[in-house]
């Protein structure tokens, strides 16, 4: 049995009472409760620096001895009925500078407002005494389990998904462990709240719904100072960064700085689904402007109000960022690129894959999850990958990423050259079927998919001509799998495989109901955003969710726990295989090609183990010796949100 201490590099390094201003562990007694702090960047997660300068010490003495004789007439001045304005902050005029002093009282008040340590009503009687919480909480003590029951009822009372989202974000800001316990225990219900589809709406309205900033914003204004900005983040031991530049947020387009909801949401899944501790996760938004006219014209827009920087200016900022990340967090920090537009995404991945631990979720994570679903679907429809023909609507990051991984796996299975197996895979973009006659004008990532064929403009014609067994939607365009298209798939195949991957729900190529109804209940269907079960002719169909959320948390955990320094395509194949292996007979009987999310932490542990095993085999893992049982090791590394007891 591996103890959790065997995984100390992943465990929560922040111990209750270890911080300078929070809790009572550092106090000698209730008679010395004051410390003067300045709100400035520091190594302390509280964002407070304890000052040692003589001036500060003097101020500390003043605070500690409120009855001492004042030195000056100013200090003597007492505002009517109120405390002294010792430092003159209240009297400062608008054009005078003041120092943002904060007197941190070493009582439980700070503890209650620290989301990392707060337990709300679950503080025990002993803790309430030891940490000066008496009177700051109502008298009742309840367990974390009861708090979870209470919170789920609270979230359920909202009918509007965005309100549920805000309730969850509010909880995350108040009580981190309760947030994660709630999310883990009600993952099926809450995933659509903190993730797609609701996170899409949250990003669209991001500027107006947030009271407190989340994550780190790096804009063109910080050019030349990115390392400094990274150092402003209070956590030092970062293991995963999810970064976006907001240009392709789900299928909603350019949301600029408001894309921050995506890294925040993805990282909460890293913790809830993959067990990476929250303090090791850093959400980042790079703001190079936006081309979204309505944001540019919105006086409340939170980002830079300028058109997007491109070319050298963009590349230089990204390069400074990538260099600073490595310098600040070391070689093994995982940088997950998320929702970049394809004209940058492929280039960034190519440029940094040999120097950094980088992973593009939209290209690589999506490919891995879809391949897993297809491998599982073959058990329902029969044949091998090489026996099937694939048609994509959408030839961008997701489409070509999936196509390439299918080709790679097929080539491995059949020993046929990649160029040969690619011929079974066809893609349609906004201009129609990708064919050889278009090759010259195609973006580089589409060129491998230009095959010999006459031009075809409409999807339904492509279906009738190519006769695919599998139809995959990665276009970001809602309702493009029309009745005609699905009927055509159903006329060609006994069991057409139809994956409608675009997010959020409004952009899904078809609904689950449409897929089942128009195929007379024969489709094997999964979608990027969840759909409820569908009843068709007396039978209930449960659609699966083909979303990279199945892969990236376990994938990232596998990289971190093995100290892997580079991502290799074989690691994606390993993750895919591990996910496909988790689909049970019971799932297949319901027509599911993915396991339910309820077991996601177990699934993530298997994915992590499989990825780590492959990394060791390829010599990419640096954590030596290799643990004997990688699944158990992965489980032992996972953050659990149960409250800790405070001494």
Ligand X SMILES: NC(=O)C1=CN([C@@H]2O[C@H](COP(=O)(O)OP(=O)(O)OC[C@H]3O[C@@H](n4cnc5c(N)ncnc54)[C@H](OP(=O)(O)O)[C@@H]3O)[C@@H](O)[C@H]2O)C=CC1
Applying CB under 6 A, the residues found at the interface with ligand X are 248, 250-251, 342, 362, 366, 393-399, 428-431, 474-477, 480, 501-503, 507, 528, 546-548
Q: Please identify, using beta-carbon distances, which residue of 175 and 548 lies nearer to ligand PYR.
A: 548
Which of residues 448 and 627 has its CB atom nearest to ligand X in the complex? 448
d(Cα 117, Cα 627) in Å, to the nearest integer?
32
Q: Which of these segments, 38-46, 103-111, 338-346, 606-614, binds Mg ion (CB under 5 A)? A: 338-346
DSSP for 388-419, written as a single string: --EEEE--SHHHHHHHHHHHHHHHHHH---HH
Is residue 245 a contact point for Mg ion (CB under 5 A)?
Answer: no
Contact 613/630 with Cβ under 8 angstroms? yes
Stretch that binds Mg ion, among 63-71, 253-261, 362-370, 515-523 (CB under 5 A): 362-370
Q: List, in order, residues 6 or more apart from 308 with CB less than 8 Å away.
A: 247, 254, 288, 289, 290, 291, 314
100, two tokens: 């943002």
Q: Which stretch binds Mg ion (CB under 5 A): 344-352, 356-364, 425-433, 468-476?
A: 356-364
Phi, psi (deg, nearest 5) at residue 557: -60, -40
DSSP state of 424: G
Token pair 């899944």: residue: 269
The answer, yes or no, to whether the previous bond of 112 is cis (omega within 30 of 0) is no
Q: Please give the structure tokens belonging to residue 314.
A: 């963009």
Q: Which does 596 bind (CB under 5 to 8 A by kind): Mg ion, ligand PYR, ligand X, none?
A: none
Give me the DSSP letters along 225-247: -HHHHHHHSS-----EEEEE-SS
Minimum CB separation of residue 392 from ligand PYR in Å reads 15
Q: For the chain, give the longest Cα–Cα distance.
A: 93
Asked if 362 interacts with Mg ion (CB under 5 A), we say yes
Task: From 341, 346, 359, 349, select the one nearest 246 (Cα to Cα).
Answer: 341
Residue count at the site for Mg ion (CB under 5 A)? 3
**Cβ 201 to ligand X shortest distance, Å:** 14
Cβ nearer to ligand PYR, comparing 204 with 547: 547
* Residue pointed to by tokens 């596998």: 558
Least Å from the CB of residue 545 to Mg ion = 14
To ligand PYR, the closest distance from the beta carbon of 594 in angstroms equals 14
Q: How far is the CB of 175 from ligand PYR (least distance, A)?
A: 27
Q: Which is nearer to ligand PYR, 132 or 340 (CB)?
A: 340
The least distance separating ligand PYR from the CB of residue 503, rounded to whole angstroms, comes to 4
The residue with tokens 């959320």 is: 549
Residue 266 is among the residues annotated as catalytic for this protein: yes
> Contact positions toward ligand PYR, by CB under 6 A?
196, 250, 339, 361-362, 503, 528, 547-548
Residue 476 binding: pick among Mg ion, ligand PYR, ligand X, none (C-beta 5-8 Å cut-off by kind): ligand X
Report the residue number, 196 or 511, with the smaller CB distance to ligand PYR: 196
Q: Identify which of residues 122 and 284 has a Cβ nearer to ligand PYR in the complex.
A: 284
Nearest CB to Mg ion, comparing residues 222 and 397: 397
For the bound state, the minimum distance from the C-beta of residue 249 to ligand PYR, rounded and expressed in Å, comes to: 8
Query: Active-site residue among 59, 266, 517, 614?
Result: 266
Partner touching 58 among Mg ion, ligand X, ligand PYR, none, CB below 5 to 8 Å by kind? none
Tell me which of Mg ion, ligand PYR, ligand X, none is bound by residue 500, counting a contact when its beta carbon lies within the kind-specific cut-off of 5 to 8 angstroms. none
Q: Select from Mg ion, ligand X, ligand PYR, none the partner in contact with residue 431, using the beta carbon and a kind-dependent cut-off of 5 to 8 Å.
A: ligand X
By beta-carbon proximity to ligand PYR, the closer residue of 215 and 528 is: 528
**Closest separation between CB of residue 422 and Mg ion, Å?**
24
On whether the CB atoms of residues 138 and 155 are closer than 8 A, the answer is no
325-336 CB burial, b ≥16 within 10 A, e <16: bbebbeebbbbb
Nearer to ligand X, 13 or 477 (CB): 477
* Helices of type H across 397-540: 397-414, 418-421, 459-466, 483-492, 512-518
Q: Which of 195, 206, 616, 646 is catalytic?
A: 195
| Closer residue to ligand PYR in complex, CB, 114/247 | 247
3-state SS assignment for residue 610: helix
Q: What residue has token string 């409608």?
A: 500
Tokens of 139: 């008298």
Q: How far is CA 486 from CA 42, 490, 519, in A?
A: 58, 6, 6
Which residue lies nearest ligand X, judged by its C-beta? 396
Q: Tell me whether residue 150 is one of the annotated catalytic residues.
A: no
Q: Is 339 in the site for Mg ion (CB under 5 A)?
A: yes
CA trace torsion 621, 626, 629, 635 (10° rounding)? -50
Residue 546 contacts which entry, ligand PYR, ligand X, Mg ion, none (Cβ below 5-8 A, type-dependent):
ligand X
Q: Which of 259, 267, 254 has the alpha carbon at shortest distance from 207?
A: 259
Residue 410 site contact among ligand PYR, Mg ion, ligand X, none (CB < 5 to 8 Å, cut-off depends on kind) = none
Tokens of 191: 């995933």
We find the least distance from the C-beta atom of residue 632 to Mg ion, in angstroms, to be: 31
Q: Which does 477 bind (CB under 5 to 8 A by kind): Mg ion, ligand PYR, ligand X, none?
A: ligand X
Q: How far is CA 544 from CA 333, 362, 510, 534, in A?
A: 32, 19, 14, 12
Measured in degrees and rounded to the nearest 5, phi and psi for residue 636 equal -70, -20
Q: Is 251 left (phi over 0), alpha (psi -120 to 50) or beta?
A: alpha
Which stretch, 54-62, 361-369, 446-454, 594-602, contacts Mg ion (CB under 5 A)?
361-369
Asked if the peptide bond before residue 625 counts as cis, ω within 30 degrees of 0, the response is yes
User: Contact between 397 and Mg ion (CB under 5 A)?
Assistant: no
Identify which of residues 245 and 362 has a Cβ nearer to ligand X in the complex.
362
Q: Does 247 bind Mg ion (CB under 5 A)?
A: no
CA–CA dist 233, 227 (Å, integer): 10
The binder of 290, among Mg ion, ligand X, ligand PYR, none, by C-beta within 5 to 8 A per type, is none
User: Shortest Cβ distance from residue 318 to ligand PYR (Å)?
Assistant: 19
Residue 342 binding result from Mg ion, ligand PYR, ligand X, none, given CB thresholds of 5 to 8 Å by partner type: ligand X
Q: Are 330 and 313 in contact (CB under 8 A)?
A: no
Q: Are 203 and 163 in contact (CB under 8 A)?
A: no
Q: Which of ligand X, ligand PYR, Mg ion, none interacts with 282 (beta carbon under 5 to 8 A by kind)?
A: none
Catalogue the active-site residues.
Answer: 195, 266
Applying CB under 5 A, which residues contact Mg ion?
Answer: 338-339, 362
């Amino acid at each position: 049995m591996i103890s959790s201490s065997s995984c100390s590099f992943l465990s929560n390094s922040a111990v209750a009472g270890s911080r300078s201003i929070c809790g009572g562990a550092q106090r000698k007694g209730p008679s010395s409760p004051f410390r003067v702090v300045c709100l400035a960047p520091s190594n302390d997660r509280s964002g407070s620096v304890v000052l040692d300068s003589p001036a500060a010490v003097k101020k500390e003495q003043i605070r500690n001895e409120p009855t001492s004789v004042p030195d000056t007439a100013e200090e003597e001045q007492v505002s009517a009925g109120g405390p002294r304005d010792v430092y003159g902050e209240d009297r400062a005029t608008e054009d005078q500078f003041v120092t943002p002093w904060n007197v941190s009282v070493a009582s439980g008040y700070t503890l209650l407002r620290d989301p990392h340590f707060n337990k709300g009503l679950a503080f025990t009687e002993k803790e309430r005494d030891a940490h000066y919480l008496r009177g700051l909480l109502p008298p009742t003590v309840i367990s974390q389990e009861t708090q979870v029951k209470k919170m789920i009822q609270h979230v359920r009372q909202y009918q509007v998904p965005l309100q549920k989202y805000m309730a969850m974000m509010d909880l995350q800001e108040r009580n981190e462990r309760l947030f994660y316990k709630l999310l883990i225990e009600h993952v099926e219900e809450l995933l659509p709240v903190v993730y797609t589809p609701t996170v899409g709406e949250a990003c669209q309205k991001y500027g107006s719904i947030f009271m407190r900033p989340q994550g780190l914003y790096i804009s063109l204004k910080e050019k030349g100072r990115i390392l400094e900005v990274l150092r402003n983040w209070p956590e030092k031991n970062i293991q995963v960064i999810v970064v976006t530049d907001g240009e392709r947020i789900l299928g909603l387009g350019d949301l600029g700085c408001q894309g921050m909801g995506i890294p925040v949401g993805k990282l909460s899944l890293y913790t809830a689904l993959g067990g990476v501790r929250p303090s090791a996760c850093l959400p980042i938004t790079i703001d190079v402007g936006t081309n979204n006219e309505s944001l540019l014209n919105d006086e409340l827009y939170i980002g830079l109000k300028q058109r997007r920087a491109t070319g050298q200016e963009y590349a230089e900022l990204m390069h400074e960022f990538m260099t600073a990340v490595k310098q600040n967090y070391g070689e093994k920090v995982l940088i997950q690129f998320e929702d970049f537009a394809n004209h940058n995404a492929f280039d960034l991945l190519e440029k940094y894959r040999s120097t950094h631990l980088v992973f593009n979720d939209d290209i690589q994570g999506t490919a891995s999850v879809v391949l897993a679903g297809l491998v599982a679907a073959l058990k329902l429809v029969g044949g091998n990958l090489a026996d099937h023909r694939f048609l994509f609507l959408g030839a961008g990051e997701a489409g070509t990423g999936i196509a390439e991984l299918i080709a790679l796996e097929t080539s491995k299975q059949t020993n046929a050259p990649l160029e040969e197996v690619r011929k079974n895979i066809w893609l349609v973009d906004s201009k129609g079927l990708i064919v050889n006659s278009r090759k010259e004008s195609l973006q580089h990532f589409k060129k491998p998919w230009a095959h010999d064929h006459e031009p075809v403009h409409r999807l339904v014609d492509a279906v009738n001509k190519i006769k695919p067994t599998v139809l995959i939607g990665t276009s970001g365009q809602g309702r493009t799998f029309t009745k005609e298209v699905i009927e055509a798939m159903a006329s060609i195949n006994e069991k057409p495989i139809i994956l409608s991957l675009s997010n959020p729900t409004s952009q899904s190529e078809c609904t689950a109901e449409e897929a089942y109804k128009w195929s007379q209940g024969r489709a094997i269907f999964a979608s990027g955003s969840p759909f409820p079960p569908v009843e068709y002719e007396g039978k209930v169909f449960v659609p699966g969710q083909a979303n990279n959320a199945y892969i990236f948390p376990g994938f990232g955990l596998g990289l971190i726990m093995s100290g892997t320094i580079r991502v290799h395509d074989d690691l994606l194949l390993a993750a895919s295989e591990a996910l496909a292996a988790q689909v049970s007979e019971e799932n297949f009987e319901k027509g599911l090609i993915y396991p339910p999310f309820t077991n996601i932490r177990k699934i993530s542990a298997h994915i992590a183990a499989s990825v780590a095993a492959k990394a060791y085999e390829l010599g990419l893992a640096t954590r030596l010796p290799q643990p004997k049982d990688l699944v158990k090791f992965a489980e032992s590394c996972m953050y659990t949100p149960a409250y800790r007891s405070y001494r």
